[in-house]
């Protein structure tokens, strides 16, 4: 009633994100900090929340500003020479600029690495369990989840639709998807489940190809179409389940670039080996408190800036082209914090170089 009366008197409901947007437009937060607030609210793990808090406090923004400041310093030196085309650029100057650009590029690589790790913390990995019926996909899902999430029976084809569960490994969210067993369907319901399973395999970050350790892989491999197996090299794991029934100790090996893990989803033996493989495929490296909780647009901007810096190094002897690549790199970095101000460089040039009246 109170709220309704306020609206009757002329108030209105706040729009989604309105107060954060006001803080951004009033220079209380930059764009990266505003996004960090949303990431903090959506954080699925404690480590992701800590990274979001650091970005909200300005850690990521200060890192970006530091890169931009160094980039401006190099631009100042190079653009100053453009106004004096008759004067040949000294070799020592080119070497000095090249060294500074290389150091900047190296430090940008370090930021990209931190951001890639943060992207993992934010979005996680999409892991699909695939294979023929009755090889233990649902048992593996239950073991990873730590609870009975899927019905497990000895009857092939028990799972007819997908089950989803999110777990954490080293703070990384893993979205596990248990699919219907891949075989010739016996009815329409199972056929629809298998069609969904194949779509999930195509969209997966990691595919766990399940097999029975008591049976040769070649006898079960037809369950996943050949064209799909070829589409995800380097991001698939072959899990030979039921190693306890086969009388085989848990172990892991790589053959022809394909990782094979022998484990038992029933007893839990060998599960650590599988978790380690998830982290390896994710490219996870523990950076402690140094991870940047980056969004897709941040990674795109950082990589685009890196490409422009690489091109600037190629064009180092042609000042105009080099300066243009540096300008584009600065624009990309500035887009992260919401600053699109290429004209700001003019004030810097006039204040620090005597290039005319």
- Band of pLDDT at residue 194, cut at 50, 70 and 90: low
User: For position 147, what pLDDT does the model report?
Assistant: 63
What is the pTM assigned to this prediction? 0.65
User: For position 155, what pLDDT does the model report?
Assistant: 44
Region 196-209: mean pLDDT is: 75
User: For position 223, what pLDDT does the model report?
Assistant: 54
- Band of pLDDT at residue 230, cut at 50, 70 and 90: low
Residue 329 CA to chain centroid, in angstroms?
21
For the stretch 281-290, pLDDT in tens is: 777 765 555 7
Higher pLDDT, 49 or 103: 103
Say if residue 214's pLDDT is above 80.
Answer: yes
User: For position 89, what pLDDT does the model report?
Assistant: 62
Higher pLDDT, 174 or 147: 174
Q: How far apart are CA 331 and CA 346, in angstroms?
A: 14
User: For position 7, what pLDDT does the model report?
Assistant: 92
Strands 251-255 and 258-262: antiparallel
Higher pLDDT, 232 or 243: 243
Domains annotated on the chain, with CATH: 21-121+295-352 (1.20.120.430), 124-285 (3.40.50.300)
- Band of pLDDT at residue 229, cut at 50, 70 and 90: low
For the stretch 67-93, pLDDT in tens is: 999 999 888 888 877 766 555 666 677
Q: Please give the mean pLDDT across all residues of the chain.
A: 77
For the stretch 251-281, pLDDT in tens is: 988 887 788 999 998 888 999 998 888 888 7
| Residue percentage of the chain with pLDDT more than 90 | 16
Say if residue 335's pLDDT is above 70.
Answer: yes
Say if residue 40's pLDDT is above 90.
Answer: no
**Looking at 134-148, 160-174, 231-245, 261-275, which range is the least confident one?**
160-174
């Amino acid at each position: 009633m109170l709220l309704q009366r306020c609206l009757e008197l002329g108030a209105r409901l706040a729009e989604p994100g309105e107060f954060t947007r006001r803080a951004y437009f009033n220079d209380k937060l930059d764009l990266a900090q505003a996004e960090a607030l949303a990431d903090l609210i959506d954080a699925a793990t404690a480590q992701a929340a800590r990274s979001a808090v650091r970005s909200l406090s300005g850690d990521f923004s200060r890192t970006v500003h530091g890169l931009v400041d160094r980039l401006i310093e190099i631009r100042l030196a190079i653009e100053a020479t453009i106004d004096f085309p008759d004067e040949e650029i000294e070799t020592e100057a080119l070497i000095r600029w090249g060294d500074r650009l290389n150091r900047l590029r190296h430090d940008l690589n370090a930021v990209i690495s931190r951001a890639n790790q943060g992207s993992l913390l934010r979005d996680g990995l999409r892991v699909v369990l695939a294979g023929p019926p009755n090889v233990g996909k649902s048992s593996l899902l239950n073991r990873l989840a730590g609870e009975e999430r899927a019905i497990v029976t000895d009857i092939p084809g028990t799972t007819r639709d997908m089950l989803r569960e999110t777990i954490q490994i080293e703070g990384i969210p893993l979205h596990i998807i248990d699919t219907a067993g891949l075989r010739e369907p016996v009815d329409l319901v199972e056929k629809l489940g298998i069609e969904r399973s194949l779509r999930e395999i195509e969209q997966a970050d990691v595919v766990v190809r399940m097999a029975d350790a008591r049976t040769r892989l070649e006898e079960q491999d037809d369950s996943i179409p050949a064209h799909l197996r070829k589409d995800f090299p380097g991001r698939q794991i072959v899990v030979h389940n039921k190693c306890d029934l086969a009388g085989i100790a848990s172990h892991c090996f790589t053959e022809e670039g394909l990782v094979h893990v022998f484990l038992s989803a029933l007893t839990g033996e060998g599960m650590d080996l599988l978790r380690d493989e998830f982290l390896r495929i994710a490219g996870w490296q523990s950076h402690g408190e140094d991870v940047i909780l980056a969004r897709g647009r941040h990674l795109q901007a950082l990589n685009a800036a890196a490409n422009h810096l690489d091109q600037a190094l190629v064009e180092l002897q042609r000042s105009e082209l080099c300066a243009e690549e540096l300008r584009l790199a600065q624009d990309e970095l500035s887009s992260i914090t919401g600053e699109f101000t290429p004209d700001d460089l003019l004030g810097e040039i006039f204040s620090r170089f005597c290039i005319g009246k």
